């Protein structure tokens, strides 16, 4: 499926269930998203991760609404829990089945996102391992001088931002050296097709969701 359309569909579903609160609709959505994930080779590790993430906030909301809220509305509590699972499963469908590169290519070609935003973000994302290493280097360097740099220390952010400024200069220079120009027409090495099937899936899914929201309690 086209990555941009997939993202749009998942966003629309997430947005719509944020404003409606139907336990059964949420459960059906979770099952559908789960089936999609299974067809995309979901591993046990990923499955456990998806089940664990919403557990703590879910229980907190359940107890707050059911135990302390006006009317002790347990049904609303459970539908909130199921809503969190829909969010996380929708996120899983996006991140487990689409690589950032494909998504960015699709956003550039199909949604006409300016190439400087598409490739700028991608360039930054690609040096992620280096950024992680840099943050821990800053922490270790601080410890050597007897300084504990926690996540609330301005110095930690300051030093990380200094590196960020240097990297952004270097990456932009490197990209321009390789012929990247802002606002110039580009050709594409890999084409991301946008077929009528993608639109059909989007429209049919949304229509079915509306019917379910009206029909089910």
Contact positions with another protein (CB under 8 A) in 111-130: 116-117, 119-121, 123-125, 127-128
- Are 116 and 182 in contact, with CB atoms under 8 Å apart? yes
Binding another protein (rule: CB under 8 A), the pick from 102, 110, 180, 194 is 180
- Are 5 and 196 in contact, with CB atoms under 8 Å apart? no
C-beta of 52: minimal distance to another protein in Å?
10
137 binds another protein (CB under 8 A): no
155 binds another protein (CB under 8 A): yes
Which residue stretches of 40-153 are H helix?
Answer: 44-52, 55-63, 74-97, 100-110, 115-126, 128-144
Stretch 10-69 residues interacting with another protein (CB under 8 A): 10-11, 14-15, 18-19, 21, 53-54, 56-57, 59-61, 63-65, 67-69
d(CA 36, CA 30): 10
160 binds another protein (CB under 8 A): yes
Instruction: Give the CB-side neighbour count of residue 69, counting CA atoms within 13 A.
Output: 14
C-beta of 106: minimal distance to another protein in Å?
14
């Amino acid at each position: 499926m086209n990555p941009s359309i997939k993202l749009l569909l998942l966003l629309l579903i997430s947005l719509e269930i944020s404003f409606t609160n139907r336990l059964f609709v949420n459960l059906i959505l979770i099952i559908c998203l789960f089936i999609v994930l299974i067809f995309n080779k979901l591993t046990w590790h990923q499955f456990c991760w998806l089940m664990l993430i919403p557990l703590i906030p879910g229980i907190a909301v359940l107890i707050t609404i059911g135990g302390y809220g006006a009317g002790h509305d347990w049904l609303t509590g459970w539908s909130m829990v199921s809503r969190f699972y829909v969010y996380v499963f929708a996120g899983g469908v996006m991140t487990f089945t689409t690589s950032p590169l494909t998504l960015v290519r699709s956003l550039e070609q199909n949604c006409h996102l300016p190439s400087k935003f598409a490739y700028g973000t991608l360039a930054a994302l690609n040096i992620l391992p280096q950024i992680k290493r840099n943050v821990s280097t800053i922490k270790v360097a601080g410890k050597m001088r007897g300084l504990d740099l926690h996540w609330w220390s301005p110095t930690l952010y300051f030093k990380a931002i200094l590196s960020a400024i240097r990297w952004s200069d270097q990456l932009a220079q490197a990209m321009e050296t390789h012929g990247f120009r802002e606002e110039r027409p580009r050709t594409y090495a890999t084409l991301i097709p946008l077929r009528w099937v993608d639109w059909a899936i989007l429209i049919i899914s949304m229509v079915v969701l509306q019917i379910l929201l009206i029909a089910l309690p």
